[in-house]
Amino acid sequence: MKTLRNSTNDALKQVKQLILAFEGSEQSNLYNVPPDNVMSGVGKHVRHILDHFLAFQQGLISGCVDYNVRHRDGRLEDDPQLALALLDDISDWLEHASITDRAIDVESEISVSDSINQHFRSSISRELCYLINHTIHHVAYAKLLTAQHGVTIDDGLGIAPSTATYLRGQQA
């Protein structure tokens, strides 16, 4: 479980690098400005990622992770400092909380055309794995947005774990 929690924090470190890339740059005011022909800026992706972690955290308390009930705090989209503070809080919680693998219920909408909720049985480890992949997916998309704003970030951000392993093998 410790390895899984550490890997989850590694994914959150990518989010932090994404936010910090805007700080001190000429483009710092573009953190949540969508490039042309794009619906959302980096800040919306950061908020969305954090919402999922907050839903997971609340689910550990209630016994059901409900990904439909998210905070959707727009301030996280516009205020990188607030997002960084929450990100640090979540990382600290993941590192120090007494989280053990066990079964847990999950609730989530599953249809884009109708309001259809599905109830699942899952586990803490499976949900952490989901959060890692979900985070990396959004970091990859947000990385494209940063490039359109002329903000440079590490090429390794937003790369899926299995792809990173493959790329390391290609370099060897």
Q: Record the tokens describing residue 33, joined without a space.
A: 């400005």
pLDDT at 149 exceeding the cut of 90? no
Mapped onto helix, strand or coil, the DSSP state of residue 157 is coil
pLDDT at 25 exceeding the cut of 80? no
Q: Record the tokens describing residue 108, joined without a space.
A: 């989530």
pTM: 0.94
Residues 114-120, mean pLDDT to the nearest whole number: 94
Mapped onto helix, strand or coil, the DSSP state of residue 142 is helix
Question: What is the architecture of the domain spanning 2-171?
Answer: Up-down Bundle (1.20)
Query: Where in the chain are the domains?
Result: 2-171
pLDDT at 127 exceeding the cut of 80? yes
Residues 21-43, mean pLDDT to the nearest whole number: 85
Task: Classify residue 118 by burial, with Cβ atoms within 10 Å: 0-12, 13-18, 19+.
Answer: exposed
Q: Which residue has the higher pLDDT, 38 or 53?
A: 53
Output the CA–CA distances (angstroms, integers) from residue 95 to 5, 85, 166, 170, in the order listed. Answer: 7, 15, 28, 32
